[in-house]
Amino acid sequence: MLFVCFNTALLAQNITKKANWIRPEVVSGQQTWGIHNGIVFSLWPNGVETADQGTGGPRGLIRVGYEYMGKVYLINFIAIEPVVDGKIEFSEISPSNVDGKWGKLLWTGDNETTDSYNPINSRGIISHPDGNKPEIEQLSLYVFTEQFLNGANPYLKLSIRSDRPEEICFEIHNKENSAKMDRCALTATMGNYSRLRLLHLNNETIDSRKLYSGYSGIDFIEKEAYSASTFLKLKDGSPIVFTTSNESFSELSSWPNDSVYYTKRNWKYRPLCKLTQYWRKDNMGYNPSLEVRVNGRAKYWSGGTKDTSQYVNIPGGPAFENFELREKYYPGQKFYYGLTIKTADELLKQ
């Protein structure tokens, strides 16, 4: 199965015909965008998985999935975490200014002028970003959020290129009324779902089971971040950091045959192949403050309750949960998040 999955997607990467985009048929349609045989994203209340029309939560997150054989699978969530005067705020738990519930409302637009929450979404703009390669298309739209309690008011431009169908570019800006941000991290928040345990750096591979050895609590656990000097680099010099599961596909897709895990089957890995996840920066222009940060969990998240009976161990041991790049904020900074069936070694050889 894995061999078939790899070759199907690799073939898709090499096709330069007109891109086959996924986007709303009308501006009031389901809020899902992406590219066939590649990366897909959606906003609350719409789910990203095929036939998932949304369950009402969690808000304040960008759902990111991957399409394989005509079906989209949820892989991760991207949260927005602005820091002002050293105070961090989390988009998925920060209360809404509209109804006071957890999770900032997110909405889209075709340009930067959208100022307030509007559930009528953008279809996305198709452009040709490379004048030397007119066959390449790009799907772009803006994602806005309510202003944060710490005064931050960031907004994002999301883009997918047809020649990089497994990657989203996140470009961060701020509204004029925004407080000055120290940084605005975009964090992939659900690494436990893919049981990501290996963080690939240029001179070592960090194993979450060793890094968090002996920890069995219900909370997050965190060690030091890793500076840009530890990053791997693509052939063009772009710094990149990968996370992968240590398990085979058959191990990853299995689930404990135990009654205590029955109510946690939403954590069972559903895609039909393993995926490498990564963050990267362009080869020029990144700030010296750039670093990669991860934290881990030994037990699956269970809504924040302190009742330990509501938690179950992650099969195989502690895994990375949050995975992000951190960099001093500057308007227009770009972070690239990718999902690919290629291994880290295969990507580095491209």
Q: Give pLDDT, residue 88.
A: 97
pLDDT digits (tens, 9 = 90+) for 60-97: 999 999 999 999 999 999 999 999 999 999 999 999 99
The helix/strand/coil state of 74 is: strand
Give the angle subtended at the CA of 91 by the CAs of 198 and 157, to the nearest 5°. Answer: 85
Tell me 242's DSSP state: E
Distance CA 269, CA 262 (A): 14
Q: Is the distance from CB of 26 to CB of 17 less than 8 angstroms?
A: no
Q: DSSP code of 180?
A: P
174: Cα within 13 Å, side-chain hemisphere: 22
**289/238 Cα distance (integer angstroms):** 16
pLDDT at 53: 66
**Are the C-beta atoms of residues 198 and 209 closer than 8 Å to each other?**
no
The angle at the Cα of 130, spanning 125 to 132, to the nearest 5 degrees, equals 145
Residue 166, classified by CB atoms within 10 Å of its CB into exposed (0-12), middle (13-18) or buried (19+), is: buried
- Full DSSP string of 104-161: --EEEESSTT--S---S----EEE---TT-TT--EEEEEEEEPPPTTS--EEEEEEEE
- pLDDT < 70 regions, the chain: 1-17, 28-29, 53-56
- Cβ within 8 Å of residue 281, ≥6 positions away: 238, 239, 240, 290, 325, 327, 334, 335, 336
Torsion of CA 196, 341, 325, 160, to 10 degrees: -140
Average pLDDT, rounded, for the chain: 91
Task: State the pLDDT at residue 294.
Answer: 98
- Residue 292 is predicted with a pLDDT of 98
Q: Which tokens belong to 104?
A: 């900032």
- Token pair in block for residue 62: 């960008």
- Predicted local distance difference test score (pLDDT) of residue 28: 66
Q: How much is the pLDDT for 113?
A: 82
- Cα 341 to Cα 274: distance, rounded to the nearest angstrom: 6
pLDDT of res. 51: 74
